[in-house]
Chain A
Amino acid sequence: MTAPNATIWLAILLGGVGTYAIRSSFIMLYGRLELPASVEHALRFVPAAVLAALVVPELAQVDGTPVVQSGLSSVEAVQTLLMSDRVLAGALAAVAAYYTEDVLVTIVVGMGTLLALGAV
């Protein structure tokens, strides 16, 4: 059963207000809130860590299922992944990203490889 109308609107409102508080936290308080040097140091590693966290699970899939839920043993999982279309397409796209530093070229190489491998 779908939740009642009032619940849905309240969820939208409270979810939105809370999400705004999260988003604005440091942006709005910076300067008034002195960050310790150790935190500033740690923040430099956020881009690499977050971007990899967004990319790798999308590549590490077996037939659309996350690899940890595929039921394969770890050796099988690694072997399957190394031969998978998504990982190969991702690897070629990474090479393209390294040499061009261009988002569009990376997308074209990655999608093109995935389509070509799917057609084989």
Chain B
Amino acid sequence: MSFLADLRSGARDTAPVVLGIIPFGLVAGAAAVEAGLTGGQALGLSVVVFAGASQLAAIDLLGDGAPLAVVVGTVLVINLRMMMYSASLAPHLDRAARRWKALGAYLLTDQAYALSIATFRRSDTAGIGYYLGTAAPLWIVWQLCTVLGVVLGARVPPWLPLDFALPLVFLALLVPAIEGPATGLAALVGGTFTTLAVGLPYELALPVGAVAGVVAGVVTDTLTGGEVSA
């Protein structure tokens, strides 16, 4: 597929996902101002760091006057999961020019990873255009929502469970990713371990649970003689 067609196709698939990040982005702006950061600093976080969970943790710590090393360390630990995404996407983005890869790395998020890897595993023709098509709209909406959150505060109608939209997006991508006993067990163990580990500091539950799930998948796959085709 051509780069532009690929880009459009990625952007189309991202449209429903964008809905889910709106409340999260508003909170990223509103919480920063409430914690005593300036509007510029709130937007700075969204542009420079561009990773929601770590931004909220940083805002919380900065609001309490935590030392620099603690804030930066926390941000990096929370974002460490993206190294898994980077490794998982790397072979699919390998053909692209360096500048597109450099841009793509900056735009990497849970959502862009989940949408793209689902497509890359189905299609041999989709390339970095598709990935950038999923990632760029998320970036734009994230910045807009941060500004709106700074200006308006987080005003999502309380009866609308928009926070539930994001897990539903991940669920829609999870279901087809389960292809047999090994991927099924990876999902079961990943989900269960993360749920049980929720109390861990620095949002470590997700990486710990995900690694446990990957190990469970590898072990099952080895014992059953291989399920997943390359």
Task: Give the interface of A toward B (CB within 8 A).
Answer: 1-3, 5, 7-16, 18-20, 22-31, 35, 39-60, 66-69, 86, 89-90, 93-94, 97-98, 101-107, 110-111, 114-115, 118
Contacts and interface: CB of A to CB of B under 8 A. Distances in A.
B62 A2 contact: yes
Contacts, number: 298
Contact of A15 (B72, B93, B194): B72
Given A9-B41, A93-B171, A48 B86 contact: no
Contacts of A18: 72, 75-76, 79
Contact of A48 (B85, B113, B177): B177
Interface of B: 13, 15-17, 19-20, 35-38, 41, 44-45, 48-51, 54, 58, 61-68, 71-72, 75-76, 79-91, 93-94, 98, 101-102, 104-106, 108, 110, 113-114, 117-118, 121, 159, 161, 164-178, 182-184, 186-196, 198-199, 205-206, 209-218, 221, 228
A86 B164 contact: yes
8 contacts: A11-B58, A19-B49, A28-B98, A29-B90, A46-B87, A47-B88, A49-B211, A115-B161
Given A15-B49, A46-B84, A27 B89 contact: yes
A55 B194 CA distance: 10
A52 B172 contact: no
A8 B168 CA distance: 34
A51 B174 contact: yes
A22 B72 CA distance: 13
B48 A47 contact: no
B48 A12 contact: yes
Contacts of A8: 37, 41, 62
Given A45-B218, A55-B171, A98-B175, A7 B68 contact: yes
Contacts of A43: 84, 87-88
Contacts of A40: 91
Contacts of A90: 167-168, 171
A11 B105 contact: no
